[in-house]
Amino acid sequence: MGQGGYGLVCAGLVACAVALGVAACEKKAPPPPPPPPPVVTPPPDPVSFDAILREMNADRRVTIAQDVTITDESFARSSVRLASALATGDESAFASLLTRSGQRVLNELSSSGQWGQATSGLESVRVVYAAPPGSASVERTQTEEALRAAAQTQLDELVDQLRTQGVQADEIARRRLAREAELNAENARRVASSEVQVFGAGTVPEQVLLLAVQDAQGAYLLGWSAARAGEGWIFSPAPTRPQERARAAEWDGVGPRGFSLGLGARADEVGARTGLNPAAAVLETFERLRDVSLFVQFSAVAELLPGASIDAILSQLPPETGQVARAKFESGRQKLSAEPLTNAEVAEIVNSREVLSLLRAVGRSRDDLIAAVAKVTGKSVEEIQGQAGPAPAAPSNQ
C-alpha cells in the first residue's frame, strides 16, 4: 500500500473512531417532567344558618341542629322556607315547595281541616339532618327494598310449587334463575318509573332532609327528598321512623337512620301518628272487615304502594294473623262479584285513618284510594265516591 493509500485508511479510521467516540459519549435525553399534580378544589364552606335565619326573618320556632352541614346555599334557603312555612301553617308557601304528589296530599289535608289542626300547636320545627342521598334516593331505595321482598316471595312460591309437582332439582334451579332474571328486569323498569312519578321525567333527587316537628304531645320526624327546580328546590314526602321523642332537639344526630325504607318494620313498632307500614295499617282493620271488604282494601293498598304486593304486605303480619288474613283475602276474591260492597263498607275502606296515613306518607291521597277501589271492584270512580261519602273530618281538639 502506498503512503497515500495508507494515509487515507488512517484518516478513515480516525474519522470512524471520532464518530464512535462521540456516539459513545453522547448522553441519553432526560425523561419528560412528571405531570403537574391534579388541582384539588377545596370543598365549599358550610352555609351559615344563623345568617340565613336572620336574613330570611324565619319563624323563631325554626332551628338547626349543630351537626347539620349544608354547602349549597340555595338548598339551605329552601329548607328554611319549608320549615318556616310548616311552623307558621302557611299553606300557600308550603305548597309552592312541594312536588305535585305532595301538593295533592296537602290539598286533601287542607280540605279536611287536618292541615290547620296539625300546624296550629307546633312548638318547634328543627332541621336535624340534610345530605345528598348517596347512590340512591329515598324513593328509589324504598322501592327497591319493597320489590326485592316481593320478588323473593314470588321465587319461593315458584320453588314450592315446582317441588309439589315433582320437578327435578336442576330444572327447578333453571326455572328459578329464569324467573329471577325476568323479575330483575321488570323491577328495574318499575324503580325508574317510581322516581319519574314523584319528581317528573329528567329530575333526580339530590338531597334528603329530616325535620323534627314538636308539639304538645312530643316530637316526630318528617322526611323529604329534594330536587332542584330552577333556582330553588322542590320537596317530596319520604317515610320516616315512627317513634316519638319528648323534644325536637332529641332527634339531633339521627342521621339517615331517621328514614324508614321499605316494608320491613314490625307492625308493633309503628306508631299511630304515621302508620308507615302497610301491614300495620291493614292490621288495624282486617278483623272487623268481611272477606270481600278485606280483599278490596288489601288490593287497593297494594295498587298504590310503590313495588308492594299482597304477599309483601301479608308477610309483615304475625304468622297466625297472616294465615287468617290470606284465607279471608282469597275468600273475598271469589265472593266479590256475588256479594258487592255496601255503602258503609266502601266508606270504611276509603276513610280508614290508618290506611290514609300510610298512603299520605308515600305521596298518595284519598282520591287515589277511591280510584284504586274503583279499579278493583270494576265500578266507576263516581260510584265509589258516592258510596264513600265526604272525607272524614279532622279530629277534635276537645
**CA 351 → CA 102, 297, 335, 372, distances in Å?**
19, 11, 23, 13
Which carries the bigger pLDDT value, residue 101 or residue 121? 121
Q: How many residues does the chain have?
A: 398
Tell me how many domains the chain contains.
Answer: 3
Last residue of one domain, picked from the residues 258, 275, 303: 258
> Do residues 357 and 376 both lie within one domain?
yes
- CA 244 to CA 87: how far, in whole Å? 18
329 in helix, strand or coil? helix
In a domain, 15, yes or no: no
In a domain, 18, yes or no: no
125 in helix, strand or coil? strand
Last residue of one domain, picked from the residues 217, 235, 258: 258
Domain containing 165 equals 138-199
Residues 6+ apart with CB under 8 A from 138: 205, 208, 223, 225, 238, 239, 259, 261
In a domain, 314, yes or no: yes
Residue 38 confidence (pLDDT) above 80 = no
> Do residues 54 and 72 both lie within one domain?
yes
> Do residues 92 and 213 both lie within one domain?
yes
Of 63-77, 104-118, 296-310, the range with the lowest mean pLDDT is: 296-310
Q: What percent of the chain has pLDDT over 70?
A: 67
Residue 365's nearest CA partner among 395, 339, 385, 337 is 385
In a domain, 182, yes or no: yes
> Do residues 290 and 356 both lie within one domain?
yes
Residue 101 confidence (pLDDT) above 50 = yes
> Do residues 70 and 175 both lie within one domain?
no
Q: pLDDT for 156-194, tens place per residue?
A: 888 888 888 898 888 888 888 888 888 777 767 665 554
> Do residues 290 and 377 both lie within one domain?
yes
Find the CATH number of the domain harbouring 221: 3.10.450
Q: What percent of the chain has pLDDT over 90?
A: 19
> Do residues 171 and 215 both lie within one domain?
no
Residues 6+ apart with CB under 8 A from 243: 220, 269, 271
> Do residues 114 and 100 both lie within one domain?
yes
Residue 285 confidence (pLDDT) above 80 = no
- CA 314 to CA 298: how far, in whole Å? 9
> Do residues 189 and 247 both lie within one domain?
no
The pLDDT assigned to 294 comes to 81
The pLDDT assigned to 125 comes to 96
Residue with cell 305532595: 102
- CA 250 to CA 43: how far, in whole Å? 29
% helix, strand, coil for the chain, step of 5: 55, 10, 35
Please provide the average confidence, as pLDDT, over all residues in the chain.
74
- CA 89 to CA 178: how far, in whole Å? 53
> Do residues 249 and 275 both lie within one domain?
no
> Do residues 114 and 148 both lie within one domain?
no
In a domain, 25, yes or no: no
In a domain, 21, yes or no: no
> Do residues 120 and 179 both lie within one domain?
no
